[in-house]
Structure 1
Amino acid sequence: MAHNHPNSLERGTMPDLGHDDSGMGEKKSGEDEGTDRTLRDESGVTSAHVELVDFDKPFNLADPLHWSQRKKLAIVVNISLLSAMGQMASSMLAPAVEQIITEFRTTSLLLATLVVSVFMIGMAIGLLLTSGISEVYGRCVVIHVTNVLFVVFGVATAVSQSLGQLIGFRLLQGVAAAAPPAIGGGVIGDMFEPCERGRATAIYGFGMLMGPMVGPIAGGYIAQSLGWRWGAVLLIGTFGVARESYRPLVLEREVRRLRKKTGNSDLVAAIPHQSSGFKALRVSIVRPMKLLLLSPTVALPALGLAIVFGMMFLMLSTMSTVYQEVYGWSTGASGLPYLGLGGGLFTGLIVYSVTADRAYIQLSRTTTLPPEIRLSPITIGSPFCAAGLVIYGWAFEKQLHWVIPIIGCIVFSWGMVAFMMPVTTYLIDVFHAKAAGPVGAAAVLRCLAGGLLPLCAGKLYTTVGYGWGNTLLAFIALVFTPFPYLFYKNGERLRERFPITD
């Protein structure tokens, strides 16, 4: 059959539709008939003559997997920028904690720290909601609605008249900021083949990792020049344009259009999509929690990433204060050391984006690669995180030159990239189009750790000091060094033993 459509497929076949929605394994024989019944029921088609419609046949529809590279990269860049804005908001008030304490006349260091950390707790709540909702109503509607809410709660934060109001609105803004990081993994799974996902994941991760670095730098100078309230106001104008990429929903909409255009009511989408309604919504929202509680494939990588991410936010929450107290820097200047973390993350992401797909393609020429191969860089990332923590902590403890802690931050950030990007790419490879759920589930733990671990910083460093406190964290980071080998040996068995069904 000739294909003249500009988005026609280059291959004549589609991926096997026999695998389950989670991507965890193949369907057992004998389920095809039940699948056909499900397709007919969900599509509302009662005719006995059902004609399955896929992206490549018989109408040659536009498949997100085969959109132009320019379009796909533009969508990923948009998601990354939106993620960056949310992450900037999470840390922008960190250098202004002293101003907030003074304005609201509080002496509680815990409450002051909570002003920064509560945003991440809100993101954890939002991640549970938005990742599932996007698999029922689509990626676009979630992005647009949460953008509006992000603006509303940003304004409310800026005009807060009490510390309680400030903490409450920061929590709600965190919920609204969760959508881009929640659905980013799913969007990559929608549009990219496995050999293309390394670069796409690096671009997506750029916003999530660089946002928390830029936030304190900008927030420090804004707080010093204009006051802390302007930090919330200056982020409210950020919007992005999204294109629906969730393949089951895209195909379902195309089939509806074709039924109306052709008058053929027997057309049924070959990829089933959960219908809207309370039951489908409940299943989609509960699914990330099931993945965290019942699937070691998701829970173990997510736990490791959460711990390392929490360590990074512990750095973020203490760095400005330490540079002000130990080195006597101003509020504005105390945000500059975050450039060390930012520079390390930036260079690390560039290296990962260049090498990840190239290595995957090279290795896949001789053998079929399991998803667990994506986790290999963690073997390098864990020691880098540990080394960075030790340098950072003992430099403060011994009051060494101010550049030494920044070097520690750079080393840590290289390890952070070598941990976070492989875990995200691994989950996308395992779950494919359903990746929004597991990536969102991993982000839930990540945000909880980022919100809660900094609350322990005061007690930890007061008790044992910066040197031994960070050395303890370094030993924890080293525990994950053999993690990729263990998963490479046992990952397939874990996926088969703990399948997740809706």
Structure 2
Amino acid sequence: MDVAESNLEAGKTAASSGDTNNDENAASDPFLVDWDGPDDPQNPFNWPTWVKATNCGLVSALTFVTPLASSIFAPGVPSLMRDFHSSDVLIAAFVVSVYVLGFALGPLLWAPLSELYGRVYIYHLCNIMFAGFIVGCALAPTLGALVVFRFFAGAVGACCLTNGGGSIADQISQEKRAVAMSAFSIGPLFGPVIGPVIGGFVQDAKGWRWVFWVLCIIHASVAVAMVVFMRESYAPVLLERKAAKLRKETGDERYKSKLDTGLSGSTLFKRNIIRPLKLLVFSPICTVFALYMAMVYGYLYLLFTSVAFVFQQSYHFSTSMVGLVYIGLGVGSLVGMAWFAADSNKAIQKAKAETGQTRVKPEVRLNLLPHGAIILPVGFFIYGWTADYLTHWIAPVIGLFIIGVGNILCFMTVSVYLVDAYERYAASALAANTVFRSIAGAVLPLCALDMYRALGLGWGNSLLAFIAIAFLPAPFLILRFGERLRMKFKVENL
């Protein structure tokens, strides 16, 4: 872990990794603004527990709402297609998955902007735009308009998926971060699972347009709470505000933040905007994880298409009952999340005891990645063949449960690893990872029904399992060579 990251938690921020003389410079330069010692209450790491819990809770709530929108109206698609007099199966799938395609675009903008202007302003801006686009979806006059509104809603809704990890890294120390990240990750994985449950009942009762109105009401309550209670947590922004206050009070323009890079606003903007792409292209570990998570995340959204098809066509479930089937995925996700949180905390404590250091290598977070990689294909085999042979409906639901466990283990290990490895730039690291996985999440569902028609449920899901097995060496190789790959691209290059 670089010096900057270590110093952040100690209350002594550094401008860049490898800058080992920053503390001496701060002591010798009275105009270099830093925290007032390691116990400075303004340092987010020293905030009271209730303040941290409020900040992280609001981010987690928002991160539940925006992924919820990705699938909440999936059960109502048949009704929507009838209203717009369309029978195009591809468009029916695309109107759901286009939202996730927006997830691939948004993080490239919102993550670097949050590392330039702070987290809170970007949350509020995106919340306003998200509400507008969701209202547009509810009032969409044509199918094309609905697709456009869905895409832009996804693009602005993706803000919290990347910036949320950054907010947690800003204020939660490494040994407690697994629990906070577990709560934060409930949204991206459990939101799309709960979405069809809510959407199925609302669609049956009020129609598909009311699904968006319900979503708007849920989002508005979270957005208003964020305006009232959310606090800025990004250290460079907080220290710059402190320096600006001193400049105003003293009239002395020599005061500057210890994290001030000295770059002009335009240069800093350009550097921040391209940071996620630099990580994706030049950081080997980010590239490997982006490709691996594209497969994992793509499979999750493929299930949102296939589950309705399987249980309506094969088991003759109603729209509302199909929504309940997704609970199997959700319960599996919760079990996997609890497993990860408990194991990760123990691993961090053990590593600290063995090394005697306050911080440990982020690779410790990857212990459960091979477990998730093995569990995932097992779930697809069970789900596919039990549905193919029309066994009791509980059998494919058990398969979905196992998929949920494997999926969350892969997702959590990678997400928390990236936050630990690129702490100050966690939002950009998560954005780089989000791009590939969101494209896969948008594209794979488009071919799901054709694949099942051609191969059947058994062999179709077996194909997915075999691809996951082909990826199986990756987690083991990352455990062995991950640190070497990570160190090839230094944090100071950002």
CA shift for structure 1 position 280: 2.6
Q: Are 1:17 and 2:29 an aligned pair?
A: no
Aligned to 1:437: 428
Aligned to 1:165: 145
Q: Distance in 1 between matches of 2:120 and 2:485?
A: 33
Q: Are 1:112 and 2:112 an aligned pair?
A: no
Is 2:347–2:365's contact at 8 Å kept on the other side of the alignment?
Answer: no
Aligned to 1:174: 154
Pick aligned residue for 2:478 from 481, 484, 487: 487
Is 2:131–2:216's contact at 8 Å kept on the other side of the alignment?
Answer: yes
Pick aligned residue for 2:51 from 44, 48, 71: 71
In structure 2, relative to structure 1, the CA distance for the partners of 1:387 and 1:141 (3 Å cut) is same
- Secondary structure at the aligned position of 1:105 is classed as coil
Q: Distance in 2 between matches of 1:58 and 1:364?
A: 20
CA shift for structure 1 position 274: 7.8
Q: Deviations over 1:162-186 (max 9, x none)?
A: 1101111101111121111120111
CA shift for structure 1 position 479: 3.6
Aligned to 1:235: 215
Provide structure 1 residue ranges, at least 5 long, that are not aligned to the other structure.
1-9, 21-25, 40-47
Aligned to 2:116: 136
CA shift for structure 1 position 460: 1.4
CA shift for structure 1 position 140: 0.5
Q: Are 1:279 and 2:267 an aligned pair?
A: yes
Q: Which moved more, 1:332-341 or 1:346-355?
A: 346-355
Aligned to 2:292: 304
- Secondary structure at the aligned position of 2:215 is classed as coil
Within 5 Å, give how 1:46-125 maps onto structure 2. 51-57=31-37, 60=40, 62-125=42-105
Is 1:80–1:208's contact at 8 Å kept on the other side of the alignment?
Answer: no
Q: Deviations over 1:217-257 (max 9, x none)?
A: 11111111110111111111321412111111111101211
CA shift for structure 1 position 59: 11
Q: Are 1:453 and 2:433 an aligned pair?
A: no
Aligned to 1:328: 316
Pick aligned residue for 2:399 from 378, 386, 408: 408
Within 5 Å, give how 1:216-235 maps onto structure 2. 216-235=196-215
Is 1:310–1:446's contact at 8 Å kept on the other side of the alignment?
Answer: yes
Aligned to 2:346: 358
CA shift for structure 1 position 200: 1.0
TM-score with structure 2 setting the length = 0.90
CA shift for structure 1 position 413: 0.6
CA shift for structure 1 position 396: 1.7
Q: Which moved more, 1:388-397 or 1:352-361?
A: 352-361
CA shift for structure 1 position 203: 0.8
Pick aligned residue for 1:250 from 214, 218, 238: 238
CA shift for structure 1 position 120: 0.3
Q: Which moved more, 1:299-308 or 1:163-172?
A: 299-308
Q: Are 1:382 and 2:373 an aligned pair?
A: yes
Q: Are 1:213 and 2:193 an aligned pair?
A: yes
Is 2:33–2:242's contact at 8 Å kept on the other side of the alignment?
Answer: no
Is 1:374–1:426's contact at 8 Å kept on the other side of the alignment?
Answer: yes
Q: Are 1:421 and 2:378 an aligned pair?
A: no
- Secondary structure at the aligned position of 1:439 is classed as helix
Q: Which moved more, 1:111-120 or 1:303-312?
A: 303-312
CA shift for structure 1 position 16: 6.9
- Secondary structure at the aligned position of 1:170 is classed as helix
- Secondary structure at the aligned position of 1:84 is classed as helix
Is 2:165–2:427's contact at 8 Å kept on the other side of the alignment?
Answer: yes
Q: Distance in 1 between matches of 2:331 and 2:264?
A: 44
Letter in 2 for 1:98: P
Q: Deviations over 1:265-288 (max 9, x none)?
A: 432211226878443333222211
CA shift for structure 1 position 106: 1.3
Pick aligned residue for 2:336 from 325, 340, 348: 348
Q: Deviations over 1:103-122 (max 9, x none)?
A: 11112100010010000001
Aligned to 1:44: none
Q: Distance in 1 between matches of 2:470 and 2:146?
A: 38
In structure 2, relative to structure 1, the CA distance for the partners of 1:178 and 1:18 (3 Å cut) is closer
CA shift for structure 1 position 211: 0.5
Q: Distance in 2 between matches of 1:65 and 1:52?
A: 20
Aligned pairs, number: 475
CA shift for structure 1 position 73: 2.0
- Secondary structure at the aligned position of 2:141 is classed as coil
Is 2:196–2:326's contact at 8 Å kept on the other side of the alignment?
Answer: yes
Which protein is richer in helix relative to its size? 2
Letter in 1 for 2:182: A
Within 5 Å, give how 1:263-278 maps onto structure 2. 263-272=251-260, 277-278=265-266
CA shift for structure 1 position 372: 1.4
CA shift for structure 1 position 261: 2.9
Q: Distance in 1 between matches of 2:318 and 2:402?
A: 25
Is 1:385–1:474's contact at 8 Å kept on the other side of the alignment?
Answer: yes
- Secondary structure at the aligned position of 1:235 is classed as helix
Aligned to 1:318: 306
Q: Distance in 2 between matches of 1:120 and 1:468?
A: 26
Pick aligned residue for 1:498 from 473, 489, 494: 489
CA shift for structure 1 position 382: 1.0
Is 2:305–2:449's contact at 8 Å kept on the other side of the alignment?
Answer: no
Aligned to 1:199: 179
Q: Which moved more, 1:101-110 or 1:236-245?
A: 236-245
Q: Distance in 1 between matches of 2:435 and 2:8?
A: 37
- Secondary structure at the aligned position of 1:205 is classed as helix
TM-score with structure 1 setting the length = 0.89
Is 2:76–2:203's contact at 8 Å kept on the other side of the alignment?
Answer: yes
Q: Distance in 2 between matches of 1:13 and 1:104?
A: 58
Aligned to 2:4: none
Letter in 1 for 2:89: L
Provide structure 2 residue ranges, at least 5 long, that are not aligned to the other structure.
1-6
